Amino acid sequence: MANSKRVFLGVLAASFTNIQGADAYWRMSCSLIQTGRLDPNISPGVVSAHVHKVSGASNFGLSNTYEDLIASQCTSCEIQDDKSIYWTPQLYYQRANGSFEEVPNGGTVVYYLGRGENRSNIEPFPPGFRMVSGDPYLRSNDTTSFTYSGGGNSGSRLVSDRVSFACLDSSGNIPEQNHMFRTDCDNGMRAQIQFPSCWNGQDYQLDQSHVAYMSGIDNGVCPPSHPRQLAHLFFEVIYGVNDINKEPGGQFVFSNGDPTGFGFHGDFMNGWDTEVLADALEQCVNDDSFNGQISKCPPLAKSQTPYYATNCPERKPIVNEEVKGMIDCLPGCNVVTPGPERAVQLICPDDKPTINTVVDEGSNTMFTPSVGQKFDDSTFAFAGCAADSGTSRTLRGYSATGDNMTIEYCTSVCKSQGYPLAGLEYSRECYCGSSLGSIATTDCSATSQMICAGNATEWCGAPNLLAIWNDTSFSQSVTTLVVDTTTINNGSATYLGCFSDPGGNKRALSNDSMFDATAMTNEKCASYCKDKGYSLAGTEYSQECYCGNVNTGTLIADSSQCDMKCKGDSRAFCGGGLKLSVWSLVEASPSQSQSPSQSTTPQPSQTQVIQETDNVLRAANGTATYLGCYTDSASSGRTLANDFYYSSSMTVDSCASYCQSKNYAVFGVEYGAECYCGNSPKASATVSAEGDCNMACKGNSAQVCGAGSRLSVWNNTLYVPTRNLATISGSGYAYLGCYTEGTSGRALGKGVSATSTSSSTTNNTLTVEACASYCAGKGYAYMGVEYGQECYCNNDGPLNGATKAAEGDCSMTCKGDITEWCGGSSRISIYKAGDKS
């Protein structure tokens, strides 16, 4: 949905060209809290006539009192001291076949303006105050109803001018009109409604006679019958009209059956903290210097948060009926009535949807720790907040994500992984680290945070902000590495320090390399590089090993930056993110560049341990057939480059078992101790003379395991071709393609609308079917698998800059089924539900 970002930016930078000279005001963004047929102003206690999009207090329902609202758990508006509710009708797109598709909308922008000739005497809305603006049954311009005329410069105005529409189009400014005059708007269509600002002091009246418009609607004087001046309320709602695939015969229709826009309307119910509203009106609403910024108004700024959508997400529907996505008809027996006559509300005898019980738990008592304060009975104490970056993590150890994220979960995960630091970020992310070191922390007292996804009473950091907890009981069992002093492997390797690594094609140690996601240690890496004939070895990212004779990295004075624990030894550090723990090797063996003819290894007899049937050499209990001796050059890319491991006890059978367990079609052994897996030899590799593969396997001298730059290649007869599932039975998902990850967020993350949701899970037994079941169970239209074990879902499809990638990029097998592809590194295999639009 290419225009979603533009729509969102339009909300944030919402203009109000029909409210000329609007300088004294504040502007508040609100996400959605409820969608459905609820309207406690017009239809209290019963299901209302048509669908509304609602923003504000979390316990909005069929009926509300002021006491209900101020006791809400939260509000979906950015000023948390405002528990008011604001609602407008939902917009749909009616397709040529008669079905209706929900048009994306992320919420409402609400303006409180100091307007009117009596603006110095603006009164706060009293507790329980409510009002409606607009007429849902209008289908043409009402040219007979005018506001009060105060005479002089305060002449009257058509009441129908309370509604206006703006087409936000890149072609330039288009004059606003009071109906839905244009719906092809590449940045969205903005619906706008102005409210009465004059009050007679009486209680709420269903016919709205307790309020009146100023003479100019957005300015002027109040009629003598309604002398009390209120703040001027103005709503803006942006609809993603260009996110809809339009078709001949289709049209946009509001939920009340209105294709014209003349029947657009809005509702307000006051839930403000009385003292805060009074102070804000006194200090801010008439101050022209604020320019709408909440942060410049102290009474409002104290409860402002930019994370209102995350901290108070949309609640489950109260009215049990389909109102989202694609639906057959407008809920509530509403029919499309283009007018020009006024519409008539139909009574539908069978319109009796059930009501869901949605419990609002009331205002949260947030756990807001001070620095040094411990969490419950745990050993973790709060260390403060610290800046973080996705490109250079502050805590670079183990990490985890999940919708069940809490402080206790994150601290327990880090403790189990042997890390003393646990950092929470972005509501659902957890990062572990080894030392505060040079990390600059603050007490978070003046910092907005997101609630934890798994516990709404706890804070879990924010985007690029970590809330860090420190295990005060942590005993330093990690081996301290001292430059030029610490040795391993019986003194044959000496620690040189922590070095920067440019990464990519320019490694600090640029020769051979290998990785081990489960058993990497400094000792293992040093042995590997020494056996290769190199003088230097370096570990990185907890599981990677690099070899070379020249180190082009830069020594880092702060060795704590090499703080990732080795996958195979939690007591030791194996570098960090683009940080190498470098070791100097002594007594290096002859270089790998030694030609095969110089090898003194005797050529074993393969027939001693390998079957030969039908003139074909077979191994691994007959499940592998020999293909030949192939050339292999690491400098131009490995002949078999998909997977690798090293073992000082390597045999043809152990390599076969390793590669077969991962369902690779081909495997090969080299240099006596190296095993490589792939699905076919690279095109540039050639079959060499059989005598060139003349090194005995380290684990069985009677078997041949290639040689220097020579690979003994075998075919895996157990191989089952790995595939993408064209369709997934039971869930309705069909394969869409291989995509890159997003550049500004997850490819299947949240969209820009506040109602957009996403979900994810990680499982080391993941299959495509399991991910489909997970996403379908949550009602998502798109699902995707990545990195062999990660599952993501959303309703918007690929977002945040994700683009189609080469199918070969999604080449990681699923952890739970090696015959299925589950994306790749920063590549996601995406499926779309066939019954979703």
For residues 501 and 633, state if they share a domain: no
- Domain hosting 811: range is 727-833
For residues 307 and 229, state if they share a domain: yes
- CA dist 713 and 669 (Å) reads 7
For residues 222 and 183, state if they share a domain: yes
In a domain, 368, yes or no: no
Of residues 480 and 67, more confidence is placed in 67
For residues 534 and 655, state if they share a domain: no
In a domain, 375, yes or no: no
What confidence score (pLDDT) does residue 476 get? 60
Average pLDDT over residues 602-626: 67
Query: Phi/psi of residue 36, each to 5°?
Result: 160, -175
Looking from the CA of 474 toward its CB, the CA atoms found within 13 Å total 25
- CA dist 78 and 82 (Å) reads 8
Pick from 73-82, 533-542, 555-564, 750-759 the range whose average pLDDT is largest.
Answer: 73-82
Of residues 425 and 586, more confidence is placed in 425
Of 337, 354, 371, the position where a domain reaches its end is 354
Cβ count within 10 A of residue 155: 14
Of 354, 389, 408, the position where a domain reaches its end is 354
Express as a percent the part of the chain with pLDDT over 70.
92
DSSP state of 49: S
In a domain, 50, yes or no: yes
CB burial of residue 617 (10 Å; 0-12, 13-18, 19+): middle
In a domain, 362, yes or no: no
What confidence score (pLDDT) does residue 731 get? 83
- Sign (positive or negative) of CA dihedral 504, 506, 512, 518: negative
For residues 2 and 132, state if they share a domain: yes
In a domain, 481, yes or no: no
pLDDT at 629 over 70: yes
Q: Which of 236-240, 280-284, 369-373, 442-446 has the lowest mean pLDDT?
A: 442-446
For residues 711 and 779, state if they share a domain: no
Chain CA centroid to CA 807, Å: 24
DSSP state of 770: H
Average pLDDT over residues 145-174: 90
Closest CA to 709 of 805, 541, 594: 594
- CA dist 124 and 700 (Å) reads 88
Of 716, 750, 775, the position where a domain reaches its end is 716
CB 318 within 8 A of CB 358: yes
In a domain, 526, yes or no: yes
What confidence score (pLDDT) does residue 602 get? 34
**Cα dist from 531 to 47, 517, 546, 589, 701, whole Å:** 77, 21, 13, 6, 17
Looking from the CA of 508 toward its CB, the CA atoms found within 13 Å total 24
What are the tens digits of pLDDT across the range 513-538? 998 877 889 999 999 999 998 999 99
DSSP state of 243: G
Looking from the CA of 172 toward its CB, the CA atoms found within 13 Å total 0
Closest CA to 808 of 793, 820, 824: 824
What confidence score (pLDDT) does residue 763 get? 85
For residues 194 and 268, state if they share a domain: yes
In a domain, 367, yes or no: no
- The b/e string for 178-206 (b: 16+ C-beta within 10 A; e otherwise) is bbbeebebebbbbbbbbbbbbbbeeeeee
> Taking CA 785 as the corner, what is the angle to CA 782 and CA 791, rounded to the nearest 5 degrees?
80
Looking from the CA of 411 toward its CB, the CA atoms found within 13 Å total 22
What confidence score (pLDDT) does residue 609 get? 55
Average pLDDT over residues 469-490: 82
What are the tens digits of pLDDT across the range 27-84? 999 999 999 999 999 999 999 999 999 999 999 999 999 999 999 999 999 999 999 9
Cβ count within 10 A of residue 608: 10
CB burial of residue 118 (10 Å; 0-12, 13-18, 19+): middle
For residues 337 and 262, state if they share a domain: yes
pLDDT at 274 over 70: yes
pLDDT at 110 over 60: yes
Average pLDDT over residues 95-112: 94
What confidence score (pLDDT) does residue 477 get? 60
Q: What share of the chain is helix, strand, coil (3-state, %, to 5)?
A: 10, 30, 55
In a domain, 721, yes or no: no
What's the token pair of residue 684? 């540039």
What are the tens digits of pLDDT across the range 313-370? 999 999 999 999 999 999 998 999 999 999 998 888 778 899 998 888 787 788 999 9
What are the tens digits of pLDDT across the range 292-323? 899 999 999 999 999 999 999 999 999 999 99
Query: Phi/psi of residue 570, each to 5°?
Result: -70, -5
In sequence order, what are the beta bridge partners of 193?
A: 163, 235
pLDDT, the chain, mean: 87
Please count the residues of the chain. 837
Average pLDDT over residues 368-390: 89
Of residues 719 and 136, more confidence is placed in 136
For residues 118 and 208, state if they share a domain: yes
What's the token pair of residue 509? 């140690």
Express as a percent the part of the chain with pLDDT over 90.
56
What confidence score (pLDDT) does residue 824 get? 87
Report the greatest alpha carbon distance in the chain: 112
- CA dist 672 and 703 (Å) reads 9
What's the token pair of residue 765? 């037994």
Number of domains in the chain: 5
Average pLDDT over residues 664-686: 88
What confidence score (pLDDT) does residue 612 get? 67
Closest CA to 52 of 331, 310, 316, 349: 331
SS3 525: helix
Q: End-to-end CA distance of the chain, in Å?
A: 12
For residues 221 and 72, state if they share a domain: yes
**Cα dist from 154 to 158, 195, 214, 503, 658, whole Å:** 13, 18, 9, 70, 86
What confidence score (pLDDT) does residue 364 get? 77
For residues 310 and 396, state if they share a domain: no
pLDDT at 594 over 80: no
Of residues 113 and 541, more confidence is placed in 113
- CA dist 692 and 307 (Å) reads 65
What confidence score (pLDDT) does residue 191 get? 97
- Sign (positive or negative) of CA dihedral 432, 495, 536, 529: negative
What are the tens digits of pLDDT across the range 217-229? 999 999 999 999 9
- CA dist 374 and 266 (Å) reads 47
What confidence score (pLDDT) does residue 87 get? 97
What's the token pair of residue 187? 């940045």
Closest CA to 7 of 612, 804, 752: 752
pLDDT at 633 over 60: yes
pLDDT category of residue 615 using cuts at 50, 70 and 90? low
**Contacts for 148-152: CB closer than 8 Å, 24+ residues apart:** 148/212, 148/213, 148/214, 148/215, 148/221, 148/222, 148/223, 149/215, 150/117, 150/215, 150/220, 150/221, 150/223
Q: Which of 29-33, 311-315, 558-562, 692-696 has the lowest mean pLDDT?
A: 558-562
Show Cβ contacts of residue 457 under 8 Å, excluding neighbours closer than 6 positions: 364, 365, 366, 367, 451
What's the token pair of residue 365? 């008592």
pLDDT at 634 over 80: no
What confidence score (pLDDT) does residue 572 get? 86
> Taking CA 276 as the corner, what is the angle to CA 273 and CA 281, rounded to the nearest 5 degrees?
120
Of residues 627 and 446, more confidence is placed in 627
Closest CA to 761 of 744, 786, 725, 726: 786
Average pLDDT over residues 543-550: 90
Instruction: Give the E-state strand segments of 352-463 in sequence order.
Output: 354-355, 380-387, 399-401, 421-425, 429-433, 451-452, 455-459
- The b/e string for 35-53 (b: 16+ C-beta within 10 A; e otherwise) is bbbbbbbeeeeebbbbbbb
For residues 330 and 422, state if they share a domain: no
pLDDT at 192 over 60: yes
- CA dist 465 and 467 (Å) reads 7
